[in-house]
């Protein structure tokens, strides 16, 4: 049996999974929508991964989870490594692009920038308080314009005079966009304007004060949008690399971290058939009333979190 490693990245919008070997070669991968159900998405993901996976010759010996649902999903799949998405992305990207200096990442609801020197992350920033200019904004605008989010790049490429869109805030951007459409601007131009706005917003907020050096790698779901990639290249004046597996980079990073970590635990595909449920309880032992999350496998409590002090510990 040869050893393999599983990485799962459960984000706000999409859930990604990969199985890699010792040489970081992808043996199996899947990308699905989370649809507000991280546990369900994880089960579907595991069954998709299983179909492409040769269980006769390979065995998954370590599992890593990342993304905003990393803890919940980590509990369910019995992860040996639970890592935040910033580290996972940095590790994934520097493994495949050791020369990289700047990693741009725009996901469903967050965006980050990671600066790298000699293959080591030296600075990062992540959006706070506001999700303007992330994937969620692009999909809602695509819906408003009556096109699929995947088509945005195509439309943007046809534009010759991108419209100026105010990008400081999603709500303002949306009213500006409606205004421009009602004024008679062609759809292509407005869409290209939206792509430029995403880039301007990113560089003015997350990228503020950061020195962006080439080579630049762009990833996260939004990197699949050629309109935004073109807008980044224009704004930065350098080539922006998008890996064909850029959308899987978090999952790849998690798998690599699991491989490098000490923990070993054979992954069981039976997860997809197990009943998991989550219960939320108010602690009630002080006015803070911490919201405690209890995760059950069948009727057994497997983990709980959310309490700020010992009084809220669940046994």
Partner 1 sequence: MARDPERMKKGTKIIHGAFPRYAEYNCAMKYMAEHGFHNVKFIMPPALTKRTEELGARYSPDFVCTPFKTLLGSLIEALEAGADTLVMAHGYCRLGYYGELMEQILRDLGYEFDFINLSDYDTWKKRDWLKVLKRIDPKLNLPRLIQTARETIRMVEHLDDATSEYYQICGFDATGGGCQRAYRSFLAALYTADCGADIENAYKRVKQEFQRIPLNKPKRPLRVGILGEFYTVMDPFSNLNLEQKLAGMGVEVHRWMNLSNHLIHYGTVKNFEPKIRDLCEYTMGPTSTANIWYAKTCAEHGYDGLIHVKSANCTPEIDIMPVLQNISADYKIPTLYLTYDSQTSDVGLMTRLEAFYDMIETRKRALS
Can you give the binding site for partner 1, defined by CB under 8 A? 68, 83-87, 90, 118-126, 128-129, 209, 211, 286-289, 308
Distance in Å, CB of 10 to partner 1, minimum: 13
Instruction: Provide, rounded to whole angstroms, the least separation between the CB of residue 308 and partner 1.
Output: 8
Contacts of 132 (CB under 8 A, 6+ apart): 167, 168, 169, 170, 173, 201, 205
Provide the b/e sequence for 154-164 (b: ≥16 CB within 10 Å).
ebbeebeebbe
In angstroms, the CA 197 to CA 228 distance is 9
The nearer residue to partner 1, 68 or 196, going by C-beta atoms, is 68
- Cβ at position 145, least distance to partner 1 in Å: 30
Beta carbon nearer to partner 1, 177 or 254: 254
Q: How far is the CB of 299 from partner 1 (least distance, A)?
A: 27
The number of residues making up the chain comes to 315
- DSSP assignments along 191-239, one per residue: HHHHHHHHHHHHHHTTTTT----SSEEEESGGGG-HHHHHHHHHHHTS-
For residue 91, which of 253, 242, 218 has the smallest C-alpha distance?
253
d(CA 241, CA 233) in angstroms, rounded, equals: 9
Of the pair 172, 239, the CB lying nearest partner 1 is at 172
Cβ neighbors of 79 (< 8 A, separation 6 or more) are 8, 63, 64, 65, 70, 73, 258
Q: How far is the CB of 121 from partner 1 (least distance, A)?
A: 5
Nearer Cβ to partner 1 (66/163): 66
Our CB check for partner 1 shows the closer of 3 and 84 to be 84
Closer to partner 1 by Cβ: residue 193 or 220: 220
- Provide, rounded to whole angstroms, the least separation between the CB of residue 288 and partner 1: 4
């Amino acid at each position: 049996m040869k050893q393999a490693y599983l990485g799962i990245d459960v984000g706000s919008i999409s859930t990604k999974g990969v199985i890699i070997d010792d040489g970081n070669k992808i043996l199996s991968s899947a990308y699905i929508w989370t649809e507000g159900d991280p546990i369900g998405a994880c089960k579907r993901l595991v069954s998709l991964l299983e179909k492409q996976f040769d269980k006769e010759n390979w065995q998954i010996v370590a599992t890593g989870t990342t993304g905003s649902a990393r803890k919940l999903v980590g509990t369910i799949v019995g992860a040996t490594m639970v890592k935040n998405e910033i580290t996972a992305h940095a590790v994934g990207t520097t493994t495949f692009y050791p020369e990289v200096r700047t990693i741009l990442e725009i996901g469903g609801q967050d965006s980050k920038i990671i600066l790298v020197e000699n293959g080591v992350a030296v600075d990062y920033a992540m959006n706070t308080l506001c999700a303007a200019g992330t994937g969620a904004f692009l999909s809602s605008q695509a819906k408003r314009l009556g096109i699929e989010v995947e088509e945005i790049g195509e439309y943007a490429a046809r534009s010759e005079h991108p419209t100026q869109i105010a990008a400081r805030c999603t709500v303002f951007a949306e009213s500006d966009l409606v205004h421009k459409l009602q004024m008679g601007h062609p759809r292509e131009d407005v869409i290209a304007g939206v792509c430029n706005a995403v880039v301007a917003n990113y560089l003015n907020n997350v990228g503020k004060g950061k020195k962006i050096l080439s080579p630049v790698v762009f990833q996260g779901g939004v990197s699949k949008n050629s309109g935004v990639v073109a807008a980044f290249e224009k704004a930065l004046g350098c080539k922006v690399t998008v890996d064909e597996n850029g959308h899987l980079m978090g999952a790849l990073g998690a798998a690599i971290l699991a491989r490098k970590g000490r923990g070993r635990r054979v992954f069981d595909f039976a997860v997809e058939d197990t009943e998991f449920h989550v219960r939320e309880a108010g602690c009630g032992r002080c006015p803070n009333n911490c919201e405690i999350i209890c995760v059950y496998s069948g009727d057994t409590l497997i983990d709980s979190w959310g309490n700020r002090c010992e009084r809220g510990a669940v046994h």
